[in-house]
Amino acid sequence: MKDAATQTIYLKDYQEPHHWVRDVHLTFRLAPRATRVLSKITFVPNVQNPGDLILDGEGLRLIAVAVNEAIVPYQVTDTHLVIKSGDLPTAPFTFEAEVEISPQTNTALEGLYMSPLNVEAPEEGERESQPGQNAMYCTQCEAEGFRKITYYPDRPDVMAPFSVRIESDMPVMLSNGNPGAFGPGFAEWHDPWPKPSYLFALVAGNLINHPGGFTTKSGKQVELNIWVRPGDEGKCAFGMQALKDSMAWDERVYGREYDLDIFNIVAVDDFNMGAMENKGLNVFNSSCVLASKETSTDANFERIEGIIAHEYFHNWTGNRITCRDWFQLCLKEGLTVYRDQMFSGDMRSHAVKRIEEVLTLRARQFREDNGPLAHPVRPESFVEINNFYTATVYEKGAEIIGMLKRIVGDEAYKKSCDLYFERHDGQAVTIEDWLAAFADTTGRDLAQFKQWYSQAGTPRLSVEEDWQDGTFTLTFTQSTPATPGQSDKKPMVLPIAVGLIGPNGAEVVPTTVLEMTEATQSFSFEGLGARPTASILRDFSAPVVLEREMSAKTRAFLLAHDTDPFQKWEMGRMLAKDTLIAMIMDGTPPANAYLDAIKTVLTDDSLDPAFRALTLGLPSQDDLAQTLYDAGVTPDPDKIYAAREEVRRILAAHLREVLPALYVENDAGAFAPDAEGSGKRSLRLSALSLLTLSDGGATARALYKRADNMTEQAGALQALLSAGLGEDELADFAAQWQDDRLVMDKWFMMQVASAAPDQAADIAKSLTQHPDFTMKNPNRFRSVFGALAGNHAGFHASDGKAYALLADHLIALDALNPQTTARMSGAFETWKRYDADRQGMMRDQLERILATPTLSRDTTEMVTRILS
């Protein structure tokens, strides 16, 4: 028999709960190792599905239970508290419980925990170790953390209003909803909007607020706050502006208004993910909200703006309308990612944003879809739901929304969303409900489209062209490779955005969306004067791999003439990829066609600097490895590394005359974290990175010294490190920033990320001995081991040292923090791409991890799937 802890849960088994919740009253008596949680919950028997009262609960010390203020028989296991239906009233009843929990030793960062943690045992005779000056209480309940706080039906379809009372001597005590009574030692909060338990939050600590305000379109005043630890209050202004922009955008674009008197954001240093959309009380990993020009890069600013928007947008897509069960996770995440992407595009540049989105989609989601962890956007089963907060659910989930919008059109999209909000406000719903709003609005049958939610794998799309008597015909063929548990794939609905360019470079047919539904399908364009060149999959209109035979000449032609910025970039990308692959395969040097095309784009002042920088960027080593593997070639990480370095040197030499000017002319002047400034800095730093290969590092050293912002300081250091230089600057950087946790994360990360292949594991290992390294802070752990896994040649060094080092640390981390361990084990997901030696070494490490006694359910599931 299977252990309950590793049981598989199936979508098809969904059943309504036996009881609904009418309201919840919680009292917290906070203490580091003995917090008392008193709950008073009104349950309403579900006449549709009568049965026992089943409450989730884990790691709770139960003090007392009562039903309607009387003693009742109940059963408690490690995971549940059950009261038999025969022992319960048939009418609504109150359930009361008191439990004790220990936030200070909660290293999993799920449920109620303290940041920073203090897991040292109290001294003998000491009753309770006191939290440090800066320690704060914090909760994380998604997906199933509330059950570590008290007994409750911890499932998203159970929605209820919450009243919370917090008792402690912390100066600031926050929970969801609107503030109620407060005084010395206590604070009360009431959240009138019914919500599932995963959106519950509580924060208490010595925090300082950066205040702000917003007036909603119907004239309601909302108090805004970003709460941080003393010392961080100077890093909140940018996040506050992003929040106001998000609120205005959601009103303007989706007609969605904020619905409470107050909106609080809290920054916490110890956090497993980026941020969390708890109702009215968003909790952020401090790396995703704190920003200043001295300590944050342009990429940080952009990410912070996007995440603030994302969490805020969840207020409607996730909170007011939530998921019936965790299989529907993409209902809130895919839609909310899509919304934050559109927001960022509006705030910055849609063209640049789209290219960045495709880069991450390919790097993370295509990688996942191509390996043993491939799963549908709506999975049909899971062991641990935490393992499904994936690129597939989030990023491919967002692509599905984009395709749907492209198919139905902007106006119908808006109408359908309005219908969805109107119909389902206050409900916990499914993908079927979401699609029904579209089907009902447009009269379309979306049955085939729905396969995007159930069929895993990245479709391959090939195309053939025909030209006859003024008619140009494109014949597309699609197929989706088998993925774990899914061998037969059906044709998908593919919106293929196409434009045609005439021989003189002028567009003869503007962007047209072809809706492909068959395995093979032809589309014709009539009445053309001359054979055109097709621009296919404009704006990356579907998340597919386009397999298209194209000469370098055609690519260069489209790179020069395509009106679609994504395709224009893509053509440069393909040229670069072909160049690198040829170099890897047999040392063929780059063709001048490629080098000149890049030079032309780089020096074209009519193009956005950010776009030019993106065009100069080479495909990653991981991307090249996958491309080789797809072509039936076993990737050799050393060769890939060497070829990429060689192409960088050749580019640097070929562009020698233009790099200094690019560097000088793209000085953005006074720092502003906007699209214009960041675009210039990114082109400038791309130029610097190549320039450093030929000038001995002089320019980079000078910039490092002079820089008044982190983008340029870190960019200069990075340029030096990737050229094998920068030792002094690295030491200087640590001396300057030793007291800034987030900047020191960069210091740890950069060294490992840019280490030479034969040194990466040793450098990572020595950094784990650094006094500032800690396994308990996920950001710090990720900055070393995320960087190691991302250093392709270093991770796959043939001595296998990096594999073993990562495995050692995953085993150690699993005992503290299963969620982050499981997530990081994805570093091994591509193991089957490589040669037998490397495969063997990776398999050995995965098996060693799996053989660890008491390995968590999270990591067990991940490693088992990776090995399968």
Residues at the site binding Zn ion, with contacts judged by CB under 5 A: 333, 336
Give exposure, 534-553, as e/b (b: 16+ Cβ within 10 Å).
Answer: bbbbbbbbbbbbbebebebe
> DSSP letter string over 750-772?
HHHHTS-TTTHHHHHHHHHTSTT
Q: Helix 741-753 to helix 760-768 angle, to the nearest 10 degrees?
A: 150
The values of phi and psi at residue 244, to 5°, are -65, -40
The yes or no reply on residue 421 touching ligand PHE (CB under 6 A) is: no
Cβ-contact 275, 284 below 8 angstroms? yes
Distances (CA, A) of 332 to 196, 399, 455, 783, 840: 13, 13, 19, 28, 39
The values of phi and psi at residue 239, to 5°, are -60, -40
Cβ-contact 473, 509 below 8 angstroms? no
Partner whose binding site includes residue 421, from ligand PHE, Zn ion, none (CB under 5 to 8 Å by kind): none
Partner whose binding site includes residue 712, from Zn ion, ligand PHE, none (CB under 5 to 8 Å by kind): none
- State the residue for tokens 């870190």: 714
CB of 336 to Zn ion, least distance (A): 5
Between residues 74 and 313, which has the closer beta carbon with respect to ligand PHE? 313
Between residues 270 and 277, which has the closer beta carbon with respect to ligand PHE? 277
Partner whose binding site includes residue 390, from Zn ion, ligand PHE, none (CB under 5 to 8 Å by kind): none
Cα separation, 626 vs 639, in Å, equals 14
Query: Tokens standing for 518?
Result: 């068959």
Between residues 109 and 516, which has the closer beta carbon with respect to ligand PHE? 109
Strand 172-175 and strand 178-183: the pairing is: unpaired
Beta strands in 335-398 (DSSP E): 381-382
Q: Mask: binding to ligand PHE, 501-540, rule CB under 6 A, as x and -?
A: ----------------------------------------
Please give the helix or strand (H or E) that residue 38 lies within, else none. strand 35-45
- State the residue for tokens 């020595």: 766
The yes or no reply on residue 458 touching ligand PHE (CB under 6 A) is: no
The yes or no reply on residue 144 touching ligand PHE (CB under 6 A) is: no
Cβ-contact 495, 521 below 8 angstroms? no
Q: Which stretch binds ligand PHE (CB under 6 A): 78-86, 238-246, 269-277, 517-525?
A: 269-277
Q: Mask: binding to ligand PHE, 169-208, rule CB under 6 A, as x and -?
A: ----------------------------------------
Which residue type does 317 have?
T
Q: Which stretch binds ligand PHE (CB under 6 A): 248-256, 268-276, 442-450, 828-836?
A: 268-276
Binding residue for ligand PHE (CB under 6 A) from 56, 144, 277, 622? 277
The yes or no reply on residue 275 touching ligand PHE (CB under 6 A) is: yes
3-state secondary structure string, 558-617? Answer: HHHHCCCHHHHHHHHHHHHHHHHHHHHHHCCCCCHHHHHHHHHHHCCCCCCHHHHHHHHC
CB of 11 to ligand PHE, least distance (A): 19
Between residues 140 and 686, which has the closer beta carbon with respect to ligand PHE? 140
Q: Which stretch binds ligand PHE (CB under 6 A): 2-10, 271-279, 689-697, 783-791?
A: 271-279
Determine the number of helices (DSSP H) and then strands (DSSP E) in the chain.
29, 30
Neighbours of 295 (CB within 10 A): 21
Between residues 319 and 535, which has the closer beta carbon with respect to Zn ion? 319
Question: Which residue in the list 58, 311, 356, 368 is annotated as catalytic?
Answer: 311
CB of 707 to ligand PHE, least distance (A): 32
The yes or no reply on residue 273 touching ligand PHE (CB under 6 A) is: yes
Cα separation, 560 vs 95, in Å, equals 70
CB of 263 to Zn ion, least distance (A): 16
CB of 605 to ligand PHE, least distance (A): 39
Q: Helix 675-694 to helix 698-706 angle, to the nearest 10 degrees?
A: 140
Binding residue for ligand PHE (CB under 6 A) from 56, 58, 98, 142? 142
Spatial neighbors of 474 by CB under 8 A, at least 6 apart, are: 463, 464, 465, 498, 514, 522, 523, 524, 534, 536
Cα separation, 626 vs 462, in Å, equals 18
The yes or no reply on residue 276 touching ligand PHE (CB under 6 A) is: yes
CB of 198 to ligand PHE, least distance (A): 8
Query: Tokens standing for 86?
Result: 């025969």
Between residues 306 and 491, which has the closer beta carbon with respect to ligand PHE? 306
CB of 849 to Zn ion, least distance (A): 29
802 pairs with which residues across the strands? none
CB of 141 to ligand PHE, least distance (A): 8
CB of 137 to Zn ion, least distance (A): 23
Between residues 141 and 675, which has the closer beta carbon with respect to Zn ion? 141
Cβ-contact 502, 466 below 8 angstroms? no
CB of 28 to ligand PHE, least distance (A): 20
Partner whose binding site includes residue 58, from Zn ion, ligand PHE, none (CB under 5 to 8 Å by kind): none
> Any idea how long the chain is?
868
Q: Mask: binding to ligand PHE, 324-363, rule CB under 6 A, as x and -?
A: ---------x------------------------------
If phi over 0 gives left and psi between -120 and 50 gives alpha, with beta otherwise, what is residue 606? alpha
The yes or no reply on residue 311 touching ligand PHE (CB under 6 A) is: yes
Query: Tokens standing for 183?
Result: 């005084």
Partner whose binding site includes residue 389, from Zn ion, ligand PHE, none (CB under 5 to 8 Å by kind): ligand PHE
- Helices (DSSP H) in 443-564: which residue ranges? 451-454, 552-561
Partner whose binding site includes residue 276, from Zn ion, ligand PHE, none (CB under 5 to 8 Å by kind): ligand PHE
Binding residue for ligand PHE (CB under 6 A) from 14, 186, 254, 389? 389
CB of 313 to Zn ion, least distance (A): 8
Angle at the Cα of 36 (from 35 to 42), degrees rounded to 5? 140
Between residues 154 and 277, which has the closer beta carbon with respect to ligand PHE? 277
Partner whose binding site includes residue 602, from ligand PHE, Zn ion, none (CB under 5 to 8 Å by kind): none
Binding residue for ligand PHE (CB under 6 A) from 140, 387, 779, 845? 140
CB of 617 to ligand PHE, least distance (A): 27
- State the residue for tokens 């909007």: 193
# of chain residues touching ligand PHE (CB under 6 A): 11
Between residues 285 and 791, which has the closer beta carbon with respect to ligand PHE? 285
Longest Cα–Cα distance in the chain: 94
Between residues 537 and 822, which has the closer beta carbon with respect to ligand PHE? 822
CB of 145 to ligand PHE, least distance (A): 8
Between residues 314 and 424, which has the closer beta carbon with respect to Zn ion? 314
Partner whose binding site includes residue 393, from ligand PHE, Zn ion, none (CB under 5 to 8 Å by kind): none
Cβ-contact 111, 140 below 8 angstroms? yes
Known catalytic residue: 311? Answer: yes
Picking from 349, 25, 265, 330, the residue whose alpha carbon sits closest to that of residue 165 is 25
Partner whose binding site includes residue 140, from Zn ion, ligand PHE, none (CB under 5 to 8 Å by kind): ligand PHE
Distances (CA, A) of 158 to 87, 139, 311, 731: 22, 19, 21, 53
Between residues 109 and 276, which has the closer beta carbon with respect to Zn ion? 276
Q: Which stretch binds ligand PHE (CB under 6 A): 6-14, 275-283, 367-375, 759-767?
A: 275-283
Between residues 776 and 832, which has the closer beta carbon with respect to ligand PHE? 776
Neighbours of 2 (CB within 10 A): 8
User: Could you list the residues that contact ligand PHE (CB under 6 A)?
Assistant: 140, 142-143, 273, 275-277, 310-311, 333, 389
* Catalytic residue numbers, as ranges: 311
